[in-house]
């Protein structure tokens, strides 16, 4: 599902601020939203920046996956390599950002139910 700016602003504050900062920096309006069932696992890919947020939308950490290892990683993601799968707890958020052939891609993942307000 594609989110517009009014919908992005209804997400938890820090999650929406992260998305809006990427949109401003890369001059894009696009953001995709994906809702997942509990037990979903995030697949780490090279060249992607992941920002994790807890159930309340508070920032936990940001990592950038490059060249077979994670830069600036800490906490539970410290030992993960590209291709690893990380289980995301229910209620948590992940904002994923990457450039694909110069085109910015912003994707928001949420595990569990959440109603996007129009």
Per-residue pLDDT tens over the stretch 45-65 = 888 889 999 999 999 988 877
C-alpha dist (Å) from residue 107 to 75, 78, 79, 97: 22, 22, 23, 7
Please check whether residue 92 lies inside any domain of the structure.
Answer: yes
pTM: 0.84
∠56-59-64 over CA atoms, to 5°?
Answer: 140
Q: Report the percent of the chain where pLDDT is more than 90.
A: 51
C-alpha dist (Å) from residue 20 to 26, 58, 64: 10, 16, 19
d(CA 48, CA 46): 6
Please check whether residue 45 lies inside any domain of the structure.
Answer: yes
pLDDT given for residue 48 in this prediction: 87
Q: Per-residue pLDDT for 2 more than 80? A: yes
pLDDT given for residue 46 in this prediction: 81
Output the DSSP codes for 59-85. EEEEEEEETTEEET--GGGTT--TT-E
Please check whether residue 83 lies inside any domain of the structure.
Answer: yes
pLDDT grade for 30, boundaries at 50, 70 and 90: confident
| CATH number of the domain encompassing residue 69 | 2.60.40
Domain of residue 79, residue span: 5-111
Mean pLDDT of the chain: 85
pLDDT given for residue 67 in this prediction: 58
Closest CA relative to residue 22, chosen from 31, 13, 10: 31
Q: How many CB atoms lie within 10 A of CB 93?
A: 25
Domain total in the chain: 1
Q: Per-residue pLDDT for 10 more than 60? A: yes
């Amino acid at each position: 599902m594609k989110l517009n700016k009014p919908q992005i602003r209804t997400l938890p504050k820090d999650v929406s601020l992260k998305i809006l900062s990427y949109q401003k920096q890369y001059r894009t309006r696009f953001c995709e939203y994906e809702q997942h069932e509990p037990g979903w696992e995030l697949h780490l890919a090279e060249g992607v920046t992941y920002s994790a947020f807890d159930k309340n939308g508070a920032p936990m950490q940001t990592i950038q996956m490059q060249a077979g290892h994670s830069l600036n990683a800490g906490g539970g993601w410290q030992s993960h390599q590209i291709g690893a799968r990380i289980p995301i707890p229910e209620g948590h958020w992940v904002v994923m950002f990457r450039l694909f052939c110069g085109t910015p891609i912003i994707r928001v993942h949420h595990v569990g139910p959440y109603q996007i307000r129009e």
